[in-house]
Amino acid sequence: MSFLAVSQQAAIACYPLIGRSDKMAADDAGTKAMRSRLNRINMDAVVVIGEGEMDEAPMLYINEKLGTGSGPKVDIAVDPVEGTNLMAAGKDNALSVISAATRGSLLHAPDMYMKKIAVGPQAKGCIDIDKSLTENMKNVARSLGKDIRELDVMIQERPRHQELAQEAVKAGAHVRFFSEADVTAAIATAFDHCDADIFAGIGGAPEGVVAATALKSLGGDFQGKLVPQSKEEIERCIKMGIPFPEKKLTMDDIVKTDDCFFVATGITNGMLLDGVKQTASGKLITHSIVLTGGKMKYVQFIHGQFSGDSEF
């Protein structure tokens, strides 16, 4: 519940800025609210995925210590506004997310590209990022008891993914393009109602760690491979403890423990969650999800009055 309050407060702080075309202001509001609430939790936490390095971000920077200093030692991965452009434009699928695991368990992923592939629990063990998308789709379809023509493949709509999308279509699958927020797209593979069987593509490495934590909490699967674009990025990987940057990273390489969890609160409406709403009396309603131990719990909160929750 302590971490749930963190994502709730970050989403609430962003609410007045939805559709205001100012993603910097929204990110700043969410970040300040998230940091303030995290520092009230009895824990000795370190940010491993955050807003950037200390010289790039004033708070929630990598290696920043959070919490009261007493309590469990944990790694924290945060994104106060997953989908800043979406939120600024008033579009769907903006979330406030946070994941945590025991200290030393989360990959310290540099801020660079990562090739990714993800599936839900029913297809766990069926993916291999070193194989073609077609071969992965065949294996996933077999595991799900589907024909490959029934598969829904989540791919971010970017020029770099043109060939990947063409391959999926050629194999007979349905491609579901999304514009941003690939954490949502990856996690959607674990939800029956989302029509997402497999996620593939290249996106941010930090987002990969957040998504992997969520999927591990649900029993899904995720693999990644860093894609350095320069000698400097290779050196950065090595400095952060990744001596072979282009090595395949399995779920257990990215999240080294089962003692982890993921919490998200919707800022705008989306595939996974409803956005923040305001009642006629001025109270705010948030819709969140907590993933841990193979279970998911949806929580709806009327701030100032708890309205109940439902578990699936």
Is 150 one of the annotated binding-site residues? Answer: no
- CA-nearest of 129, 201, 119, 116 to 165 is 201
- CA-nearest of 227, 3, 244, 224 to 106 is 224
Is 180 one of the annotated binding-site residues? Answer: no
Q: Which residue in the block uniquely carries the two structure tokens 């709730």? A: 8
Taking the C-alpha atoms of residue 54 and residue 56, their distance in angstroms, rounded to an integer, is 5
Is 135 one of the annotated binding-site residues? Answer: no
Is 253 one of the annotated binding-site residues? Answer: no
Is 111 one of the annotated binding-site residues? Answer: no
Q: What is the DSSP string of the chain?
A: -HHHHHHHHHHHHHGGGTTSS-HHHHHHHHHHHHHHHHTTSSSEEEEEESSS-TTT-SSS-TT-EES-S-S-EEEEEEEEEETHHHHHTT-S--EEEEEEEETT-B----SSEEEEEEE-GGGTT---TTS-HHHHHHHHHHHHT--GGG-EEEEE--GGGHHHHHHHHHTTPEEEEESS-HHHHHHGGG-GGG---EEEEEEEHHHHHHHHHHHHHHT-EEEEEEE--SHHHHHHHHHTT-SSTTS-B-HHHHB--S-EEEEEEESS--SS----EE-TTS-EEEEEEEEETTEEEEEEEETTEEEEEEE-
Q: List, as residue ranges, the binding site.
A: 27, 51, 79, 82, 207
Q: Which residues are annotated as a binding site for Mn(2+)?
A: 27, 51, 79, 82, 207
